[in-house]
Amino acid sequence: MQRALFSRSALLAQQAAAAAAALDGPLAARGAPMLQRLDRSMSSVTVPPPSCLLRPLEAPLRYLFGPGPSNVPPRVLAAQGRPIIGHLHPEMYEIMNDIKKGVQYIFQTENNMTIVMSGSGHAAMECAVFNTVEPGESVLVAINGIWGERVAEIAERMGANVHRMVKAPGGFFTNKEIEQAVEKHKPVLFFLTHGESSAGLCHPMDGVGDICRKHNCLLLVDTVASLGAAPIFMDKQNIDILYTGSQKALNAPPGTAPISFNDRACQKMFNRKTKPVSYLFDMTHLSNYWGCDGQPARIYHHTGPVSGFFALRESLAILSERGLEASWKKHKEVAAYLYRGLEDLGLKLFIPERDLRLPSVTTIAIPEGYEWRELLAYMMKHHQMEMTGGLGPSIGMVIRIGLMGYNCEKTNADMALHALADALKNCKKSRA
Which residues participate in the annotated binding site for substrate?
400
Q: Which member of 148, 169, 170, 195 binds ligand PLP (CB under 6 A)?
A: 195
CA atoms within 13 A on the CB side of 364: 28
Q: Which of 9, 247 has the CB closer to ligand PLP?
A: 247
Q: 126 to 145, contacts with ligand PLP by CB under 6 A?
A: none
Residue 254 as a binder of ligand PLP (CB under 6 A): the answer is yes
Q: Which of 211, 358 has the CB closer to ligand PLP?
A: 358
Q: Are 190 and 220 in contact (CB under 8 A)?
A: yes
Kindly provide the b/e burial profile for residues 332-365, where b requires at least 16 CB atoms within 10 angstroms of the residue's own CB: bebbebbbebbeeeebebbbeeeebbbbbbbbbe
CB of 277 to ligand PLP, least distance (A): 18
Residue 359 as a binder of ligand PLP (CB under 6 A): the answer is no
Cα 140 from Cα 181, distance rounded (Å):
8
CB of 254 to ligand PLP, least distance (A): 6
Instruction: Identify the CA nearest to 401 among candidates 101, 136, 64.
Output: 64
Q: Which member of 12, 95, 108, 122 binds ligand PLP (CB under 6 A)?
A: 122
Q: Which of 145, 187 has the CB closer to ligand PLP?
A: 145
Residue 234 as a binder of ligand PLP (CB under 6 A): the answer is no
CB of 305 to ligand PLP, least distance (A): 13
- Beta-carbon contacts of 388 under 8 Å, excluding residues fewer than 6 positions away, are 66, 67, 376, 399, 400
The CB-nearest residue to ligand PLP is 121
Beta-carbon neighbour count of residue 280 at 10 Å? Answer: 16
Taking CB under 6 A as the binding criterion, the range among 177-185, 222-230, 302-310, 336-344 that sits at the site for ligand PLP is 222-230
Taking CB under 6 A as the binding criterion, the range among 126-134, 218-226, 328-336, 349-357 that sits at the site for ligand PLP is 218-226
116 phi and psi angles, rounded to 5 deg: -130, 130
Q: Which member of 9, 65, 68, 242 binds ligand PLP (CB under 6 A)?
A: 68
- Residue 33's Cβ-count burial label (10 Å; 0-12, 13-18, 19+) is exposed
274 phi and psi angles, rounded to 5 deg: -110, 160
Instruction: Identify the CA nearest to 402 among candidates 66, 70, 73, 62.
Output: 66
Q: Which member of 137, 222, 314, 386 binds ligand PLP (CB under 6 A)?
A: 222
Cα 121 from Cα 194, distance rounded (Å):
14
User: How many residues bind ligand PLP, per CB under 6 A?
Assistant: 14
Taking CB under 6 A as the binding criterion, the range among 72-80, 84-92, 114-122, 262-270 that sits at the site for ligand PLP is 114-122
Q: Are 92 and 86 in contact (CB under 8 A)?
A: yes
Instruction: Identify the CA nearest to 304 among candidates 3, 56, 96, 7.
Output: 96
Taking CB under 6 A as the binding criterion, the range among 117-125, 176-184, 204-212, 375-383 that sits at the site for ligand PLP is 117-125
List the x/- string, 322-341, binding to ligand PLP by CB under 6 A. --------------------
Q: Which of 67, 276 has the CB closer to ligand PLP?
A: 67
Q: What angle do CA 78, 361, 118 make, to 5 degrees?
A: 45
Q: Which member of 118, 197, 238, 327 binds ligand PLP (CB under 6 A)?
A: 197
Residue 224 as a binder of ligand PLP (CB under 6 A): the answer is yes
Beta-carbon neighbour count of residue 156 at 10 Å? Answer: 15
Instruction: Identify the CA nearest to 151 among candidates 246, 201, 221, 198.
Output: 221
List the x/- string, 145-174, binding to ligand PLP by CB under 6 A. --x---------------------------
CB of 225 to ligand PLP, least distance (A): 3
Residue 121 as a binder of ligand PLP (CB under 6 A): the answer is yes
Q: Which member of 9, 193, 238, 407 binds ligand PLP (CB under 6 A)?
A: 193
CB of 10 to ligand PLP, least distance (A): 40
CB of 196 to ligand PLP, least distance (A): 6
Residue 245 as a binder of ligand PLP (CB under 6 A): the answer is yes
CB of 68 to ligand PLP, least distance (A): 5
Which spans of this chain sit near ligand PLP (rule: CB under 6 A)?
Answer: 67-68, 120-122, 147, 193, 195, 197, 222, 224-225, 245, 254
